[in-house]
A = this chain, B = another copy of it.
Amino acid sequence: MFKINDNYLKLPGSYLFSTIGKKVAAYKEANPDKEIISLGIGDVTQPLCPAVIEAMHGAVEEMSQAATFHGYAPDLGYEFLRRAIADNDYKARGVEIALDEIFVSDGAKSDSGNIVDIFAQDNIIAVTDPVYPVYVDSNAMSGKTGDYLKDKECWSKVIYMPCTAENNFVPEIPAQTPDIIYICCPNNPTGTTLKKDELQKWVDYANQNGAIIIYDAAYEAYISEEDVPHTIYECQGAKTCAIEMRSFSKNAGFTGTRLGFTVVPKEIVSQGVTLNSLWARRHGTKFNGAPYIIQRAGEAVYSPEGRAQTGEQIAYYMNNAKTIRDGLTQMGYTVFGGVNAPYIWLQTPDKMKSWDFFDLLLERANVVGTPGSGFGPSGEGYFRLTAFGSADNTAKALDRISAI
């Protein structure tokens, strides 16, 4: 008789964005004449830039002729893409990453979910709170998180590191030593960042304690301030303790195009084995590469035209962020983020519950955002708005919020 993985049964039922979806659908049905503006889910709205479109058309043509057709891709991804990554994301910032330390994938969500495979079940993980749900759920599925405590809305074996206005969204070293530490910087959902010296403390801590940092840099392209690290490998010693994940979703609008990569330095060793070799084995066994056409699209992001055009898109979204930040500030809200990230994290007025503020915004302004408590206990009393809408909708949403 087959048995299911009953760790899945411990997962709390409903996913944040499906709950939001249901609430919005119910409101629309009751109010069919209202026009809703969504600044909720972190999905982009601007089209792929011309350089990427041109590269994809070219790659599609290649696939139409036997002489230029591409079958199975190399395990780690095409060298043309890994070289562009190594040169532009790392060498240009003074960091040497070897081509066989870069693993091209179908996106950072897959990688951050799958990376748990190469770690033993009895590792203790630490996450910032609030947090991107995939880190916790993927560990829960593989039995690394203990039991879910409904009353506290947290897992018994997970170390939560609160990030709130009180500590300026900088996690403190926890009392219990974790084995695996998840850091997302610039942060989803808070839109805040760690400065280089703050991140260096975590790298030093990980090296001193034999911990691994899983560093999610999906929002790197939005960094505008000088002292915020673009890669964790800018920190001394990070190559012996940190895995870095990157995405093309937010820097080039690839949410529906799917491309990302993970860097696993060969210096990370345990039991005489490199993590790089374990991830290579997983990659080679359970994955067959991102499509050739999409890898060519990724390469085009690094061309001079691609960089200029995606830069314009990021500026467009960051202008929205400024609109939201400035508008809310003028209304008297306390806001965070939106300077090095496309997310604005606001404190709800009068310590209103996150879900109550969600209802207020939906009903009185017809604007959809994301309740902070959906990202973890320390998100209660906060609310996330994204800068990924159109400029017109963003301005209109702000007008409506100010009219409440």
Contacts and interface: CB of A to CB of B under 8 A. Distances in A.
A3 B45 contact: no
Contacts of A41: 72
Nearest to A390: B66
Interface string A96-138: 0000000000110110011001111111000000000110011
Given A5-B278, A47-B69, A66-B47, A257 B293 contact: yes
Interface of A: 1-6, 8-9, 11, 15, 41, 43-48, 50, 53, 56-57, 60-61, 63-66, 69-73, 106-107, 109-110, 113-114, 117-123, 133-134, 137-138, 141-142, 179-180, 209-212, 253, 255-258, 270-271, 273, 275, 278, 281-282, 284-294, 390
Nearest to A287: B110
B69 A2 contact: no
A386 to B, nearest CB: 12
B278 A4 contact: yes
Contacts of A270: 2-4
Contact of A291 (B50, B256, B271, B287): B256
A46 B66 contact: yes
29 contacts: A1-B209, A2-B119, A2-B179, A2-B180, A2-B211, A3-B119, A3-B122, A8-B282, A43-B71, A45-B69, A45-B71, A47-B63, A50-B64, A53-B63, A56-B293, A57-B57, A63-B257, A69-B253, A110-B286, A113-B285, A117-B142, A133-B285, A137-B285, A138-B285, A138-B286, A141-B281, A256-B292, A257-B292, A258-B289
A282 to B, nearest CB: 7
A5 B119 contact: yes
A191 B306 CA distance: 46
Contacts of A69: 45-48, 253, 256
A285 B12 CA distance: 13
Contacts of A119: 2-5
A67 B389 CA distance: 13
Contacts of A114: 286
Contacts of A66: 45-47, 390
Given A60-B60, A106-B106, A291-B294, 9 more contacts: A2-B210, A3-B119, A3-B122, A9-B273, A47-B65, A56-B63, A106-B290, A134-B286, A256-B292
